[in-house]
Amino acid sequence: MLQNFFTTNYYEQMKVQETQRTAKLLVDEYSRDPSGFGRLAQSASSTSDIFIRVDTDNGTEVYDSGSYFKPSNIAYDFETSTAKNQLESNSVDSVSLIAKDKKNDTRRLVYATYLDGRSSGSMLYIVAPLYPVQSTIVILQRQLKYISLIALCISFVLAMVIATRLSQPIKDITKSAIELSKGNYNVKFKGGMFTETKELAKTLNTASYEMQKTDSYQRDLIANVSHDLKTPLTMIKSYAEMINDISGDNPEKRRQHLNVIITETDRLNKLVTDMLSASRLQSNTLELHKETFDLVGVAEDIANTYLLLNEQEGYHVHFNKCKPTYVYGDKEKIKQVISNFASNAFKYGGDSKYMEISVKRSGKNVRVDVIDHGDGIAADELSHVWDRYYRTSANRTRDIEGSGLGLAICKGILVLHNADYGVDSKVGEGSDFWFEMETVRPPKV
């Protein structure tokens, strides 16, 4: 449709424009240099395959392209005079009309304009053949059919290649996912050559790594928890039996044995509380009771219990504080964080028995640091210490009590408070567990 309709119109329009351009050139040349006009007209006639006729006072000049197209003189005279009449009666500068030659079924464009202004009466006629474009359209249509067929074949082959290349990695990924669902964490996802499938494979590899990690933590936890629960339970049972069998009548011994039972029960209680907090944090059901409180005071309360240790041989506990500084948060939970940092500093502080708690202002924030001179934490384990059930490889083997939940709870609490937190540590030198909270104005009293 496009070809049939547009090609003919477009071709004729182009022909009119081209003829107008040639006419303007000739008119300009005539007024500039009449002697060179003949040469220009002849060359324009041959290059553009047109007839040019010039009627002046000196007579008529005809420039012929010499092509096969030659209107009969009668027709030619008739058409040019029709154009001239139109030009004169419409008082326009130029006229273009399309003439049909019925005899040989051809069409031509007849263009007429004044050569030297309306008054002089000199005329310029250009007759340009309009070749039938129908045959060209038929050729183009045939070509289009072949081109479409070739394009269709190429796109089919290309589509097949791309589809196989795209579907293969997806098939591989599906296979690997089935393996993963069976608990085989060693399976690797391959993404093929496309960015999207590569990204998908990368994400699944990360997910499988995380699942593997959680799974191994979970296993560790069950081992740890059952060990941690078993030890105090065994102690409680044995001491209860001892009281029953031996020390029941001996007040001094009985008191000692009951104390062991109480300590072990406390340990059990703490473990169960920790597990409960961790699970509440995970399910986002831990409630905060926020208030404005003095963070320095809270840290001091904890530091005081540890400062008493300085009375014993070998302990070095320090507390550095700034003036009272208020923050908005859950006082008890923040206290739990500092306590946890402090108890870890002693648990993992080794023989140095050194601990420093410091609370200092840092711009709009207040920062709490709990520093020890223990074995420190290896760089590749630093980010994991905040994970649930994670215990560093150095401490896993030692007989230090712990569930790996303390720091995960601290992290959960600090995140709920939008606090910055972190740990700086060097193996052999010690660790610095810290957090930073925004300060607020003191409450009005």
CA dihedral sign of residues 346, 349, 354, 357: negative
- Nearest residue to ligand ADP, using CB? 402
What burial class does residue 393 get, using C-beta atoms within 10 Å of its C-beta: 0-12 exposed, 13-18 middle, 19+ buried?
Answer: exposed
Does the protein bind ligand ADP through residue 403 (CB under 6 A)?
yes
Q: Which of the residues 207 through 266 are near ligand ADP (CB under 6 A)? A: none
Work out how close the CB of 372 gets to ligand ADP at its nearest, in angstroms, rounded to a whole number: 5
Q: Which of the residues 313 through 372 are near ligand ADP (CB under 6 A)? A: 340, 344-345, 348, 372
Is residue 311 within 8 Å of 272, Cβ to Cβ?
A: no
Which of 29, 391, 419, 437: binder of ligand ADP (CB under 6 A)?
391
> How far is CA 234 from each of CA 207, 230, 238, 252, rounded to the nearest angstrom?
39, 6, 6, 22
Size of the site for ligand ADP (CB under 6 A): 20
Cα 87-93-98 angle, rounded to 5 deg: 55
Which of 395, 412, 421, 436: binder of ligand ADP (CB under 6 A)?
395
Separation of alpha carbons 177 and 191, rounded Å:
13
Residue type, 286: L
Work out how close the CB of 377 gets to ligand ADP at its nearest, in angstroms, rounded to a whole number: 5
Which of 201, 281, 295, 377: binder of ligand ADP (CB under 6 A)?
377
Which of 355, 402, 417, 436: binder of ligand ADP (CB under 6 A)?
402
What burial class does residue 280 get, using C-beta atoms within 10 Å of its C-beta: 0-12 exposed, 13-18 middle, 19+ buried?
Answer: middle
Site string for ligand ADP, 142-161 (x = CB under 6 A): --------------------
Separation of alpha carbons 385 and 411, rounded Å:
10
Rg, C-alpha atoms of the chain: 50
Which of 317, 374, 414, 436: binder of ligand ADP (CB under 6 A)?
374
Identify which of residues 325 and 339 has a Cβ nearer to ligand ADP in the complex: 339
Which of 191, 192, 406, 412: binder of ligand ADP (CB under 6 A)?
406
Binding-site ranges for ligand ADP (CB under 6 A): 340, 344-345, 348, 372, 374, 377, 385, 390-392, 395, 402-408, 431
